[in-house]
A and B are shown apart, each in its own frame.
Chain A
């Protein structure tokens, strides 16, 4: 039996108190059995945090195990702070995505800012220097003032944090839909570079080695953040506002530099971010990862605190930001403190690695927590919730928009779509993010994927995040496949070979069968697509309980992907660049309007059968784009997704955010996809398609490569003069717009709604 005694003033453990800690009676019985006694209040807090969905994945684990996680490129799969993939020349890339949805719903600025802070720490604690940030954001429609407030606050929070730390935000996605009203999603992804030999992990080892807490002092902010993130949002959630942590990016920058210097110094053997559940999860996970017999002992009275009178319980569960826990070699404590001091940080010894396999926290001499370390992590119950599709979704899938609600010519439809916030340019957002700091940005935001070069190496990395929740809502399996397929297409359009995936699975409550069905099926789709495209999942995050009194968010499994371009100078941009170039449409256009922007923007209708993903065809398209880029065939390549060919061609023509005035484009579809009506041809969202441009003398080679790799290629037209017109000839109509007009609509849609 372990020993631990209550701290003076601790409340008595009652069933109500257990319930407030989000632990079920059955879970509580397990705890008592493990300890062979009642837990102390501090121990109850520890179990509450570590057995929360956020930390323990107790509803998702069996499903997550079905994702492919291995491959020759994988250095580190799921289970560490971040996944790591092998790159040429001894380099490696560490990357991860994480959600900060709940805090952002009640305090958008700090919630989003600290989300960025957390994901940065996950990456630099692997020994990697963060080189790129991305984010995936969801909000309710912008005609609502609260949604505009959340949108503006989140974007400013993301911007201020990343900008100050000095990591470029290379891109991301922003989408809008009614299910996100009051329930925004804020997912942040970080990509870091390291030499593979410098990889460091979070497992405590070496009996007698010393645990130090480095960075900010511990305050009362964020207590219970992990369990807060593991319940639905309610009308009372605003009261959780004081539980939202406050970020300090300047301290983060110091912590980043100090951590990388400490890792390089060889003075430390392990390092871990104090993220969700703060000191509790970092120290307990370090002990559990240490394996057989390793334990840790920490004295909470030695933790530097920000306010007087904090109890062991509060110190253990605080989520104060910008703190790290590290294990120093026993004789190097002073060296560690000297490096920390250089960066104006304190490094305080608070405990040591032991050989008794126990996770022990004391207050001076008094033991307040003593739990078998391995079992604390491993014995969390795993649930296999019931899954069943909501019949309402099946009805929506079988339905079509009411005809004749609005009848517009294709060329008016195009303007409507370019003005529709999910389609419109997100320049208003990414202009607030420093996208060029570090002087490594080859392709910034506003294209298919962000691309960064690596100084002192030939290669470049392409990074993207993608998910279309409409497809997932209507058919979670196809939607999960589609998220991976679109990410792979985006990465491949820049010329990069897709390497691996991190995912952020945002859903409602897993305890509802309809939601768990979405989760299970979307994950199955992601798994199948990742296998087909050979992009293993190296980690990520599950965010459940994204529900407000109005209901759950649409299922939003966001896929973050990293790809490799062998030679940075071969990176392919998204937009037409030279008059006279030839335009090719790759892939096959079918009548697939389910879940389309056309139906949503024109009819306010999200329904129908979403487009199906042919994974073999996706693979062929990716191979084609990568092979063509490697030999310099393309002048531009752009993925065809939301809004179909109409929007894709307009984007190719309009040019990048600062590439006024764009180029005219003459496209002839009179002999293309003959069975489709004009609006279907232009706005169907069939997967597996891209638009490329190439010099006329390369047209033959492009067609030959497409044929060789089995990708349908249609020579569709020509790039015309700068600032000309987009003209698309159709069997039954024509689209014709001045590029300047298209740019006005596309780039002003969001600023106009935000009031500037």
Chain B
């Protein structure tokens, strides 16, 4: 069982379900308040969705200056896994842990709907449980989700296999190359716009998002030589 720190900003609003999803996958998930500088020795850090500090200026623009982000950056620079979901992705970009930025959606309206994404990279801690090429139905809910990078960076991301998820069918928000999620060069930092934590049980319409959390737990189990099969049999069925 790994320790998962879920960072809570005053305007985070997806922290409860993110913690629940991590716990459902077998992790020991706990909250870290934005004013804490101590992450309490996590194996993984998750920045959940929401509106961090209200985001009236630009999503994530203030959050990156919060005390907790120094510790998150150190964790990331040391190779520790960090996942940013929606607002968390925005914060990771603002903090320079991921390239590019998230701009207002192409139609300038908030967009909440089910989308389909193609899993392109399975070498990250958060997608290693998916089969390459799998297509997932997951919800998006954002006003600023149009991923924008310059042409050179986009080419680097593509060539380096750092596009983690890509919208398939419709590109809902006008993102560069229909990118829905990217990773850092070391693969340990991942940002995604869709919300896997909202799609992890049949009663919620599907469980395509569950493996994001199972992936990180299984990877940890492998690395720490506990009973991998228990996790694998119970959840992964890859």
Contacts and interface: CB of A to CB of B under 8 A. Distances in A.
A253 B13 contact: yes
Most buried by B among A166, A436, A658: A436
B109 interface: yes
Given A165-B13, A166-B14, A437-B14, A159 B198 contact: no
B154 interface: no
A254 interface: yes
Contacts of A156: 109-110
B100 interface: no
Nearest to B114: A658
A569 B10 contact: no
Interface string A249-272: 111011001000000000000000
A756 interface: yes
A528 interface: no
B95 to A, nearest CB: 20
Contact of B203 (A257, A430, A436, A442): A442
A163 interface: yes
A114 to B, nearest CB: 16
A748 interface: no
A166 B107 contact: no
Given A439-B197, A442-B203, A434 B141 contact: yes
B10 A436 contact: no
A214 to B, nearest CB: 15
Contacts of A257: 10
Interface residues on B, range: 20 to 34
A438 B137 CA distance: 18
Interface string B83-126: 00000000000000000000000010111111000000000000
Interface residues on A, range: 35 or more
A343 interface: yes
Contact of B112 (A160, A166, A433, A453): A433
A344 interface: yes
Contact of B107 (A249, A343, A571, A756): A756
Given A432-B111, A569-B203, A658-B114, A437 B56 contact: no
Interface in B38-54: 49-51, 53-54
A676 interface: no
Contacts of B56: 250
Interface string A346-383: 00000000000000000000000000000000000000
B21 interface: yes
A596 to B, nearest CB: 32
B21 A439 contact: yes
Contacts of B16: 438
Given A436-B195, A438-B16, A163 B11 contact: no
Contacts of B13: 164-166, 253, 437
A248 B20 CA distance: 28
Nearest to B140: A436
A657 B113 contact: yes
Most buried by A among B11, B20, B112: B112
A441 interface: yes
A441 B50 CA distance: 17
B209 to A, nearest CB: 9
Contact of B204 (A254, A441, A658): A441
A321 interface: no
B26 interface: no
B203 A431 contact: no
Given A164-B51, A431-B112, A436-B198, A455 B203 contact: no
A568 interface: yes
Contact of A435 (B50, B51, B112): B112
B143 interface: yes
B17 A438 contact: yes
A432 B109 contact: yes
Contacts of A435: 112, 141
A253 B51 CA distance: 10
Contacts of B191: none
A166 B141 CA distance: 11
Contacts of A254: 10-11
B54 A250 contact: yes
B145 interface: no
Interface string A149-180: 00000001001100111100000000000000
A114 B11 CA distance: 18
B111 A431 contact: yes
A657 B16 CA distance: 27
B110 A437 contact: no
B106 to A, nearest CB: 11
Contacts of B200: 439
Given A254-B10, A257-B10, A439-B17, 14 more contacts: A159-B110, A163-B112, A164-B11, A249-B54, A250-B11, A250-B53, A251-B54, A253-B11, A253-B13, A436-B139, A437-B14, A442-B203, A455-B20, A568-B203
Interface of B: 10-11, 13-14, 16-17, 20-21, 49-51, 53-56, 107, 109-114, 137, 139, 141, 143, 195, 197-198, 200, 202-205
Kindly list the 3 A-B residue pairs having the minimum CB-CB distance in the complex, ordered from nearest: A166-B13, A250-B54, A439-B17
